[in-house]
Amino acid sequence: MSIDHVYRADSGRILATLIRLVGDFDLAEEVMHDAFVAALERWPGHGVPENPRAWIVSTARHKAIDRLRRDSRFRDKSEEIARWAAAEEGEAPEALPDGENRVADDRLRLIFTCCHPALAVEAQIALTLRTLGGLTTEEIARAFLVPEATLAQRLVRAKSKIRQAGIPYRVPSDERLSERLDSVLAVLYLIFNEGYAATKGAELVRRELCAEAIRLTRLVVELMPERTESRALLALMLLHDSRREARVSPEGELVRLEAQDRSLWDQGEIREGIALTESALREGGARPYALQAAIAALHGEAARFEDTDWRQIVLLYRELMTRYPSPVVELNYAAAVAEASGPEEGLRLLDAIDERGDLATYHLLPAARAELLARLGRKQEAAGAYRRALSLVSNDLERRFLERELGALG
Amino acid sequence: MKYILLIYSKESDWTGLSDKDKVDMYQKYMAFTDSIKKSGHYLGGDGLEPTATATTVRVRNGKPVTTDGPFAETREQLGGYYMIDAKDLDEAAEIATRVPGASYGAVEVRPVMRM
């Protein structure tokens, strides 16, 4: 196992553990970096330790103690230094005092800290993606369309607020848990989406990010089995993730739902996703993630594109639109109507969104219009809409897809 | 950690209260103060006279300049404070929700600088 591999696979968990141990985001990041540098020096000559993660955590902890002794900021923390120093040498990084919380996972504690309501929502998202999702500041900035310097500043402010205001590093108390969960789920879904359809670069499906979002959502489900919304979100993620292999061709091109090789769909994820969707709907009712999961489940159930139950999908989108109106839901509703009732119907709905100007910078609106216009044989208008979509798209794969579609109009 | 809870509300809300309601409010504050004394969170706290009694002092070029009124004219005014000792922000915020003024005004929770 290489250092590079350990870094990619484990740096998120290591960082979360270190934040718990040293109680400071910046210090944890600095000493984790120091420990990896030390590994680069030592491992090639002495061999990779048996438990690389434990080695990094232990080394980083010593580095933290050294730093604290030197740093005047922490001069009064001699008690804390003594506590760390006294911690057992061989302690595994995941060894945690049990009982206080049902799930002892450092990253779960960390996500509740990152998504603390005393932080601005943008800061919650940025901090979670940076700390738990392992995204670079640049990637996060691009995902949320803000300058990198602004985002970096946002992270600095959030971390100092955590430190100075005493935002705790733990899973909230039972009576606060449910209100705190909503913002956590929203952030997890954003991480998943960033992994599923990364806004930047050639790699559309960032498997690790999706896997991470799914893993963290699973932990939340385990922690609060009675919360149906987290179960529904997990279902939604699994059902999307099941199409991962089919969504991109071997040549690296984006494949439309109707053209996907459904034998590549992950049936295990589909089965689990459907079961979770059903139980979430039964116990929690028609809440947003459950409705979206139900739509994804109907796609998952269809052996062929022609078998898709579009009428049911239209009904679910209508339900979603009535309860939780948003222009993006309306766009998806229109696309479903086009399949259920014909492209003219769908186009009429899309034109209405377009006229309101609600999604003026969203490339999928002109892309959806272009597709329906092409089906109706209105090639010139379709070409215009594809060009408009191309002027708005930022993902390379989606750009190439749109260019191919535009070229195919002839 | 030490936190100060700054209690803001519209002074007109207070002056508009009947005598009976004022007594009720005093009693609520006394009960709250007792509760955080008992739980060991209380470090100090006072109510303040209204902003009409405030005087603002600045020193410019070494000379004191004294003016009538509060530092900032705001919709809600600082009416009192508590100094508390809490484990972390969650505990401090939980105590803040029990300050009677939080139910009609707002309570700002600020950590006290560690020197």
Burial class of residue A176, CB neighbours in 10 A (0-12, 13-18, 19+): middle
Helix (H, G, I), strand (E, B) or coil at B68: strand
What six digits make up the tokens of B29?
A: 């504050």
Inspect the interface and report whether the beta carbons of B88 and A173 lie closer than 8 Å: no
Q: Is the pLDDT of residue B63 over 90?
A: yes
When pLDDT is averaged across residues A25-33 and rounded to a whole number, the result is 91
Instruction: Indicate the range of A143-152, A156-165, A176-185, A201-210 predicted with least confidence.
Output: A201-210
Alpha carbon of A168: minimum distance to chain B alpha carbons (Å): 6
The per-residue pLDDT for A206 is: 66
Burial class of residue A134, CB neighbours in 10 A (0-12, 13-18, 19+): middle
Q: Is the pLDDT of residue A146 over 90?
A: no
Backbone angles phi, psi at A117, to 5 degrees: -65, -15
Q: Is the pLDDT of residue A175 over 80?
A: no
Please report which confidence band the pLDDT of residue A167 belongs to, taking 50, 70 and 90 as the band edges.
Answer: very high
Task: Scan residues 48-107 of B and list those with Cβ closer than 8 Å to A.
Answer: 86-90, 92-93
Sole residue written with tokens 């969650």: B90
Q: Does residue A298 or residue A132 have the better pLDDT? A: A298
Which residues share a beta bridge with B111? B3
Judged by a CB distance cut-off of 8 A, whether residue A173 touches chain B is yes
Using an 8 Å CB-CB cutoff, list chain A residues near B93. Answer: 118
Give the containing element (helix H, strand E) for A398. Answer: helix A396-408
Nearest residue in A to B1, CA atom: A166
Q: Is the pLDDT of residue A203 over 60?
A: no
Q: Does residue A332 or residue A26 have the better pLDDT? A: A332
Q: Does residue A220 or residue B91 have the better pLDDT? A: B91
The per-residue pLDDT for A77 is: 60
The per-residue pLDDT for A257 is: 92
Give the containing element (helix H, strand E) for B55. Answer: strand B55-60
The per-residue pLDDT for A102 is: 31
The per-residue pLDDT for A139 is: 76
Q: Where would I find the H helices in A87-206?
A: 106-114, 121-131, 137-143, 148-165, 174-196
DSSP string of A257-282? GGGS-GGGS-HHHHHHHHHHHHHHHH
Q: Which of B3, B88, B111 sits opposite A168 (nearest CB)?
A: B88
Other C-beta atoms closer than 10 Å to the C-beta of A221 total 19
Judged by a CB distance cut-off of 8 A, whether residue A164 touches chain B is yes
Q: How many CB pairs under 8 A join A and B?
A: 25
Residues of chain A with pLDDT > 90, as a percent, come to 53
Q: Is the pLDDT of residue B112 over 60?
A: yes
When pLDDT is averaged across residues A262-282 and rounded to a whole number, the result is 97
Residues of chain A with pLDDT > 70, as a percent, come to 88
Nearest residue in B to A172, CA atom: B90
Q: Does residue A187 or residue B108 have the better pLDDT? A: B108
The predicted-structure confidence for A38-59, as pLDDT tens digits, reads as follows: 999 999 999 999 999 999 999 9
The predicted-structure confidence for A52-105, as pLDDT tens digits, reads as follows: 999 999 999 999 988 888 876 655 666 666 656 555 444 444 444 443 333 347
The per-residue pLDDT for A117 is: 87
Other C-beta atoms closer than 10 Å to the C-beta of A13 total 19
CA angle, B53 then B59 then B61, to 5°: 155
